[in-house]
Structure 1
Amino acid sequence: MKYRGKGNGQWIMNTAGSKFIKSFFVKSFQLDRCWRCSFHCALFILHYSLLFAQTPTREQLVGTWVGVHTEWDLDFACALPVYIQLDADSTYHLGMIDGSATRQTSTWAIHGESVRLDTIHYAPKLITLKNDLLRIGTNYPMVFHRFNDISLDSATVYHQLNGRVWQSDSLTLSLFANGQASLENTVTKQRTAHFWQLTLFGKSIFLLIRGNQHNRGSGYKALWQISNVSSKQMQAIGWNGCTVAAEPFRFVKNLSPSDSCRPSGFQTCDNCFRQIWAEYPLTRGQKRYDIVQLFAKYYQSVSQTGESGLVRVQFVVNCEGETGLIDINGFDEDYCPRQFNARITSQLLTICREHIATDQSIRQVDTASDLFRDVSISLAFRLKDGRITEILP
């Protein structure tokens, strides 16, 4: 397969390059679907906008670069637990920080203002470097930071972290002795449950948070390089919301047997989940007929003049069949926001919870991990004086 363009927007992707990336993903099938999707798309869906940043020199690119995240939106990014090693002899390595996939080796080069990684040619200004942050792509850029090896003793680090609670200005991190972990926002008090591990990369120790409240295999949540640790304080290098920096965590307490590692509310299984990525179409084909019949059976019309317009119900069913992130919005016949009679909205929510969310046919399996995926459901009901006249996608 080849794609060719002209001028500054030229890039080439040949069969060898495609197989190279594909083989890496196949061997890392344990990674979550969304991370693999983001990494794949960031490599091949590139936007050729003009930037003022200059292409880095060869000397600037030589070294090891640790993944931070892939930016999907201004307020949404997915963890990127990979590294790229660019050697001075033009050797290129791509691998996982925790070694969960076989490292891939190829070559790299700079040709004028363009950069080649393996067989992928990046047009000028698609690879930029600023303050030791390397960005690959401009539409959904992958962000890496320059790796500095900090030698630490893994046994000492584990002893200090295990079974203890650590807190920064924005995050409370609980690391349970059984391998579970919880992350709690110090402002919102929202807490999610995961698993933790230490992994050796070079001479450095990285703290990896991954998985969900049910299993370890649903992708990565956080990646920190431990730079210093004592009985009272831990320094961890990672993304602080603005840049990669050494974040100080202070010791809070030792965890007791009565402490539990449970989320504070509904938690998706995927750590990089957006509802638009996994919306299940309920209003097509046979499924549409089934939905219409379902509401015809259970919905009791509320005959009330003026109860007309649209009601949209949205919710998520996670990999364990749990329902959450429920949102209901009403609009009048001119599509302006409005509230409907509670007897209408409560019925719609009850039917969605008890009949649609529990329908096993909507559950989808991720072929890479053999785990159920999080699924987003969205239904819109057109009403006329309290009667459902149409169910829209």
Structure 2
Amino acid sequence: MQKRVIFKKLKAVSLVFLFIALFCVCCKREQQSAPLAIKDIQGEWLRAAWEFDENFYKPSIAIMEFTEDSCFIKNVKDSVVSVHPFTVDKDSVHFGDWTFSRDKFKLRQNALYLDRLIAGRPKNVKLNVDHKEIETILKSSDWKDSSATYRFTDNQKILVAKNGGEGFLQYCYDILEYQDKFFLSKKGNQLDCNRDYQFLEQIIAIKESQIETYGFANGEFKTRVYSKKLKEETLFNKPTNFQLCNPYLNKNFPLDRYYYKGTEFKGGLYHIRKIVAEQYKAPSNSKESGIVQVRFVVNCEGKAGLFENQAFDFDYKLKEFSDSIVSQIVTIVKSLQDWNPGRNKKGEVIDTYKYLNFRIEHGKITRIYP
């Protein structure tokens, strides 16, 4: 009897704690889901990125200044580029001609989300240096962070040697000044400095031995630390064999993956077939049949790299081929380095994905097609 009473008391206490826990969770959810209002975001924001897919972002750089009913879009030189009406009602947000659900208008981890557009507050810091002094410090030595070593040159180039990589990548840079704030702008590629802008970094601290920046990276706003490093001439004596001109090219983004934009091998498919016929040796007595597909990128220089391959049967189900077939095909495709690069609507040469499919019947290549 006594055990039953104790059990009932314990059960009652457990229920009380359960109700308290549920109440706390509900309160927390209610607090988190409080709708954002225009007054919460008034002032200036650094527009940083557009989220195309989960964990896939591309730079979208501007200063956004919100007032009670408008948003002023400025470049990072304080010039107004455009003005858009900005209103919020019960269910929707209206941003110029753009309307989206109010639940996609939110603040999360110091970031403002306007549907897929992401912005962050610039840091309110003032550096005790001017533009010229920043340039002098940058060029005085090499700089290293957790992923690479960087060298800033006199002709506004930035050379990047990734940890564990071979050769260096080449971009351009500029120091932008907005009001009393300084920003490091990385941009361009090995051919052109005035395109392919990277995520902007606000310089929030600069010393002879260390530089700190703040900006968007890997899905969030964070601080980045560059430490001074003695110059090693051997580190930057040879560029990498293959460099993407657009560092944000993504194989899962349809416009990058499937839209070739005029990319073609010099001499066409006829010349590719001729090269393959001269170099491929079918294994004797092979019974293997199916399709070997090689995917790669042709960059803005017309060079091919980032090779991947997979194989299918004739019903397009994944299968495996012997290495004696696949390795030959991949080696031949890697040797095809004389491409006309694709172009965008502006006529600029760009990086594009390309496919070559090889139909195999009893070990022999019977057809090659894009």
> Could you state the TM-score of these two structures normalised by the residue count of structure 2?
0.76
Deviation digits for residues 67-106 of structure 1 (CA, Å, limit 9, x no counterpart) = 2322233343212222211124x3321133357x861123
Higher RCO by CA contacts (8 Å cutoff, separation 6 or greater)? 1
Code of the residue aligned with 1:340 in structure 2: it is S
| 1:182-215 Cα shifts (integer Å, max 9, x gaps) | 3344466785321111001121000011111232
Per the alignment, residue 176 of structure 1 pairs with 153
- Is the 8 Å Cα contact of residues 298 and 351 (structure 1) preserved in structure 2? no
Of structures 1 and 2, the larger Rg is shown by 2
Write the distance in 1 (CA, Å) between the matches of 2:214 and 2:144.
14
2:84 matches 1:106: yes
Take 2:192 and 2:103, find their aligned partners in 1: how far apart are those partners?
40
Is the aligned partner of 1:95 residue 2:71?
no
The aligned residue for residue 13 of structure 1 is: none
Structure 1 match to 2:224: 247
Within-5 A mapping of 1:146-165: 146-152=121-127, 153-165=130-142
**Residues 228 and 296 (structure 1), Cα distance of their counterparts in 2 relative to 1, 3 Å cut:** closer
Question: What SS class does the counterpart of residue 198 from structure 2 fall into?
Answer: strand
Q: Is the 8 A contact 1:180 1:261 kept in 2?
A: no
User: In 2, distance between residues paired with 1:376 and 1:143?
Assistant: 27
Q: Distance in 1 between matches of 2:45 and 2:89?
A: 21
**2:11 aligned residue:** none
Distance 1:61 1:157 in 2: 31
Unpaired segments ≥5 residues, structure 2 = 1-31
1:198 aligns with 2:175: yes
Q: Note closer, same or farther for the CA distance 1:176–1:262 as it changes in structure 2 (3 Å cut).
A: farther
CA distance, structure 1, for counterparts of residue 190 and residue 339 of structure 2: 22
State the aligned residue count: 329
CA positional deviation for 1:257: 6.8
Preserved contact between residue 310 and residue 380 of structure 1 (Cα < 8 Å):
yes
Shift of the 79–187 alpha-carbon distance from structure 1 to 2, 3 Å rule, reads: farther
Partner of 1:274: 250
5+ residue gaps in structure 1?
1-51
Q: Is the 8 A contact 1:218 1:269 kept in 2?
A: no
Change (3 A) 1:261 1:239: farther
Report the equivalent of 2:360.
Answer: 383
Select 1:222's aligned residue among 199, 203, 208: 199
1:69 is matched with which residue?
A: 49
Q: Would you say the 8 A contact 2:298–2:339 is kept in 1? A: no
SS across alignment from 1:222:
coil
| Aligned AA (2:47) | G
Q: Match for residue 15 of structure 1? A: none
* TM-fit CA distance, 1:323: 1.3
Please name the residue that 1:365 is paired with: 343
TM-score norm. by structure 1 comes to: 0.72
Worse-superposed segment, 293-302 or 193-202: 293-302
Offset at residue 390 of structure 1 (A): 4.0
User: CA RMSD of the aligned region, Å?
Assistant: 3.4
Matched, 1:327 2:308: yes
Alignment identity in percent? 20
Match of 1:27 in 2: none
